Amino acid sequence: MASTLLIVIDGLRATDVPKMPFLTELARSGVSYREARSVAPSLTRPAAASLATGAPPGTTGITGNHLWAGGQPIDTGRPHQLALLRSLRGNRLLPVPTLSEHLSGHSRRLVAVGTGSNGCTLLLNPAAVDGHGAVIGAHPFGEDAFYAQPEDVRSQLVGSTPGASGGPFSELDWAVDLIADYVMPEVGPDVLVLWSGELDDIQHDNGIGSPAGEDALGEIDSRLRRLADRIRARSPHTDIIVTADHGFSNATHTVDVADMASVLPASLSEDIQLVDNNGGLLVYARRRLSAEEVDAVLDAVMSADWSGPTFAVDCAVPGTLSLADLRSSNRSDDGLLAYVSLTYRDRNGDQHVGHSTQRNGTHLAGGHGSTSSADMRIPLVLNGPSFRIGHETHLPADHLDVPATICRLVGLPVPPSMSGRVLSEARLRGTGNTCETPKDHHVVAERNATDETMAHFQEFSGRQYFLWAERSRP
Ligand SMILES: [Zn+2]
- pLDDT computed for residue 256 by the predictor: 82
Quote the CA–CA distance of 283 and 123 in Å, as a whole number. 23
CB-based contacts of 286, cutoff 8 Å, min separation 6: 68, 71, 270, 271, 272, 273, 335
Beta strands in 335-462 (DSSP E): 336-341, 343-345, 351-356, 366-367, 377-383, 391-393, 397-398, 439-448, 451-460
Q: Where are the domains of the chain?
A: 4-250+373-426, 253-370+440-472
Q: Of 42, 16, 8, which Cα lies nearest the Cα of 114?
A: 8
Query: What pLDDT is recorded for position 359?
Result: 53
Compute, in degrees rounded to 10, the torsion defined by CA atoms 230, 231, 232, 234. Answer: 90
CA 198 – ligand 1 centroid, Å: 10
The pLDDT value recorded for residue 325 is: 83
pLDDT for residue 434: 63
* pLDDT value of residue 255: 86
**Could you say which residues of the chain have pLDDT below 70?**
1-2, 327-332, 357-362, 428-434
- How far away, in angstroms, is 170 Cα from ligand 1 center? 19
Distance 201 CA to ligand 1 centre (A): 6
- Ligand 1 centre to CA of 306 (Å) is 20
pLDDT tens track for 75-100: 999 999 999 999 999 999 999 999 99
CA of 187 to the centre of ligand 1 (A): 30
Task: Compute, in angstroms, the gap from residue 288 CA to the centroid of ligand 1.
Answer: 32
358 pairs with which residues across the strands? 362
Residue 206 Cα to ligand 1 midpoint, Å, equals: 12
Report d(CA 125, CA 118) in Å as an integer.
11
Cα 266 to ligand 1 centroid, rounded to whole Å = 32
What is the CA(47)–ligand 1 centre distance, in A? 11
Determine the distance separating the centroid of ligand 1 and the alpha carbon of 279, expressed in angstroms: 10
How many A from CA of 368 to the centre of ligand 1?
Answer: 6
pLDDT at 364: 80
User: 258-311: per-residue pLDDT in tens?
Assistant: 788 899 999 999 999 999 999 999 999 999 999 999 999 999 999 999 999 999
Q: Which CATH class is domain 4-250+373-426?
A: alpha beta
Distance 459 CA to ligand 1 centre (A): 28
pLDDT at 261: 87
384 CA distance to ligand 1 middle (Å) = 29
